[in-house]
């Protein structure tokens, strides 16, 4: 079962990167807030159908949950909104690596202190190096993205100058 969960999570990561890319492109035409709204509206419709046919919980249980737990909905919305903004400026890979570093950082803190009823897993040197290497990976990916973007702009400017000269 653990291998299946790892594979399903891998597929989830693939869909997240694809979604980031498509949302970034859509946001250039429709707008950032509008793209984020469409994503959540579609999710609402899809999950409503799934709940009707397969739901086993109590949707109204949300009303009795501690208020701090409801912040998860806001955090998910904020994540998607910031991702849509970032993808158009730094690219899909840099956005996702940044998000992963953020997830690992807060995950390590949550594990270390046992927040939100999680297991307590102490911060150690292995986790430190994992974060360090992710930071190094982000640096190289970001620098590569910026170099590629500058080269693309230079080629575009050269073509535009050539077109003007031909007129």
DSSP letter (8 states) at residue 65: S
Q: What is the pLDDT of residue 127?
A: 93
Q: What is the pLDDT of residue 3?
A: 83
Going 152 to 157 to 162 to 167, the CA torsion angle's sign is: positive
DSSP string, 100-153: HHHHHHHHHHHHHHTGGGPPP----HHHHHHHHHHHHHHHHHHHHHHHHHHHHH
> Encoding tokens for residue 157?
């400017």
The predicted-structure confidence for 135-163, as pLDDT tens digits, reads as follows 999 899 888 887 777 766 667 666 666 66
What's the pTM? 0.70
Tens-binned pLDDT, residue by residue, of the chain (167 aa): 688 888 888 888 888 888 888 988 899 999 999 999 999 999 999 999 999 999 888 888 888 988 888 888 888 889 989 998 998 888 888 888 899 899 999 999 999 999 988 889 999 999 999 999 999 998 998 888 877 777 666 676 666 666 676 66
Q: What is the pLDDT of residue 166?
A: 67
Q: What is the pLDDT of residue 131?
A: 93
Q: What is the pLDDT of residue 29?
A: 92
CA angle 46–48–52, rounded 5-degree value: 120
């Amino acid at each position: 079962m653990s291998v299946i969960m790892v594979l399903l999570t891998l597929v989830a990561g693939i869909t997240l990167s694809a979604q980031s890319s498509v949302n970034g492109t859509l946001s250039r035409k429709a707008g950032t807030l509008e793209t984020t709204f469409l994503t959540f509206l579609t999710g609402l419709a899809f999950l409503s159908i799934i709940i009707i046919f397969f739901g086993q919980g109590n949707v109204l249980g949300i009303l009795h949950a501690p208020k701090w737990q409801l912040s998860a909905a806001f955090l998910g919305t904020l994540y998607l909104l910031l991702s849509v903004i970032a993808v158009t400026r730094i690219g899909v890979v840099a956005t996702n690596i940044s998000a992963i570093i953020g997830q690992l950082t807060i995950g390590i803190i949550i594990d270390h202190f046992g927040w939100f009823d999680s297991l307590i897993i102490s911060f150690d040197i292995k986790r430190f190096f994992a974060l360090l290497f992710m930071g190094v990976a982000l640096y190289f990916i970001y620098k590569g993205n910026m170099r590629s973007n500058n080269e693309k702009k230079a080629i575009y400017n050269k073509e535009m100058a050539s077109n003007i000269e031909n007129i």
